[in-house]
A = this chain, B = another copy of it.
Amino acid sequence: MKISKGKLFDLYAVMLKIRLFEDRIVDLYARGLVPGLAHLYIGEEAVAAGACAALRDDDYITSTHRGHGHVIAKGAELKLMMAELFGKKTGYCKGKGGSMHIADMKIGILGANGIAGGGLPIAVGAGLSAKWRGTDQVTVSFFGDDASNNGTFHEGLNFASLHKLPVVFVCENNQYGISVHQKQHQPITDIAIRATSYDMPGVVVDGNDVIQVHEAVTKAVRRARAGEGPTLIECKTYRWRGHHEGDPNQGSRYRTKQEIEEWKKKDPVKRLAEKLLADKVVTKKKLEELEANILKEIEGAVAFANESKFPSQEELYEDVYVEG
């Protein structure tokens, strides 16, 4: 597969947007402006960007507790995200969901999810639904290495393969549950081998290489659209920060600083930037412009969130049920 220069640049733009958005969250969180739990995706941007670029607007994703990257890559508006993270009425969920529950049916975001492994069965249902409705929509389900030990993984993949559903299971293997290393949570190294149990293809890619991710997901999406069934794709990657903001010293209770530094050298964003420059896809200036534009968008989002109102007390009781 040949990725066009334009596409490569677009991938980069998405990755950078995720990175800068979350860099800003780090800062806002530290200053107490973002309440609750913020599980950051920094270091893993290539997965979301590469995967979602293989999707159409009307395709679906299910996301995780670490969902900012997925939803930005699927097209979520930063303003609405930021307002949600601030708990404001103008946010994606009117302030009711926060970081772990961002959803937008219009662009196929079936929700971030606070339950590890919770998204897989939902993705399977979106797949069944697309099949029943006779559309060729595809669903990508993101989940982590440790979530692959949950029963929902097993039940979900079995069901999807049994009915040849148009679902792509994207496992983000960042090598850790919260503090638990993969070696302590499963006796295997490549999660992709679990695909065999469900008679579906399993693929391992370098999750810090957006091109590899994008190619693997594109192939799986093609297969899914053609009615040939699901694929399991494992993306090897790493999270730079603690499990969530507030995890002391970026998780150095359970991993070495050295390990973190090693992985920072494999920075997927920088890596792509260097390639873009080396291959003369873009000029340095263009990259700087891009960054400036994104930063401006983020500032706009922060301003929007800041200026927005908190929901009023009565709203507590709204949206429990669909009325009428």
Contact = CB atoms under 8 A, between A and B. Distances in A.
A45 B162 CA distance: 30
A154 interface: yes
Nearest to A161: B187
Nearest to A194: B197
Give chain A's interface secondary structure class.
helix
Nearest to A160: B187
Contacts of A194: 197
A152 interface: yes
Contacts of A151: 150-152, 154-155
A194 B158 CA distance: 11
A193 B185 contact: no
A153 B199 CA distance: 17
Contacts of A193: 196-197
A188 interface: yes
Contacts of A198: 186-188
Interface of A: 149-155, 158, 161-162, 184-188, 193-194, 196-200
Given A186-B198, A187-B198, 6 more contacts: A149-B155, A153-B154, A161-B187, A162-B186, A188-B198, A193-B197
5 contacts: A149-B158, A151-B152, A158-B186, A162-B186, A187-B199
